[in-house]
């Protein structure tokens, strides 16, 4: 079900998400991560997401400091939960001729991608690879 961004984050268990919330820990202790729908790849019947930071770079080729700080924090939480199922809020971009200009809507739970399991995280390289799974395929302990 498509919802407003903050509404989807609240449905996933975050008490007070901001309009730029990328991640957090729900009231029941389960980590929550946002994933952009257009960055999900369907490979051999499975769904995967990973980061390509080209859009986060300044003119010198380095990640923008504000974005870099948020990415580090996102990846630190991901690394702490490597291999563990977390909640995924799927974000649908507002696409224009100029590209992604923000959030059009978000979903939680998504019918096929409500859980995320980080398979590898490299904080120094600001990269991750994660698998997205339906809610019923895993249990959170």
Q: What's the confidence (pLDDT) of residue 141?
A: 47
Whether residue 106 contacts residue 10, with contact meaning beta carbons closer than 8 Å, is answered with no
| 36-48: average pLDDT | 94
Q: Spell 13-22 as b/e; 16+ CB within 10 A means b.
A: bbeebeeebb
pTM, full prediction: 0.86
Q: What's the confidence (pLDDT) of residue 137?
A: 62
Compute CA distances 97 → 101, 103, 121, whole Å.
Answer: 9, 15, 32
């Amino acid at each position: 079900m498509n919802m407003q961004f903050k509404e989807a984050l609240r449905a996933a268990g975050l008490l007070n998400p901001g309009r730029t919330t990328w991640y957090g820990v729900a009231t029941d202790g389960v980590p929550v991560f946002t994933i952009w729908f257009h960055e999900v790849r369907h490979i051999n019947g499975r769904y995967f997401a990973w980061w390509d930071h080209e859009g986060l770079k300044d003119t010198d080729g380095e990640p923008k400091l504000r974005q870099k700080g948020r990415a580090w924090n996102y990846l630190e939480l991901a690394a702490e939960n490597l291999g563990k199922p977390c909640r995924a809020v799927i974000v649908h971009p507002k696409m224009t001729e100029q590209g992604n200009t923000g959030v059009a809507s978000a979903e939680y739970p998504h019918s096929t991608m409500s859980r995320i399991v980080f398979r590898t995280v490299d904080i120094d390289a600001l990269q991750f690879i994660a698998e997205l799974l339906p809610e019923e395929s895993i249990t959170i302990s």
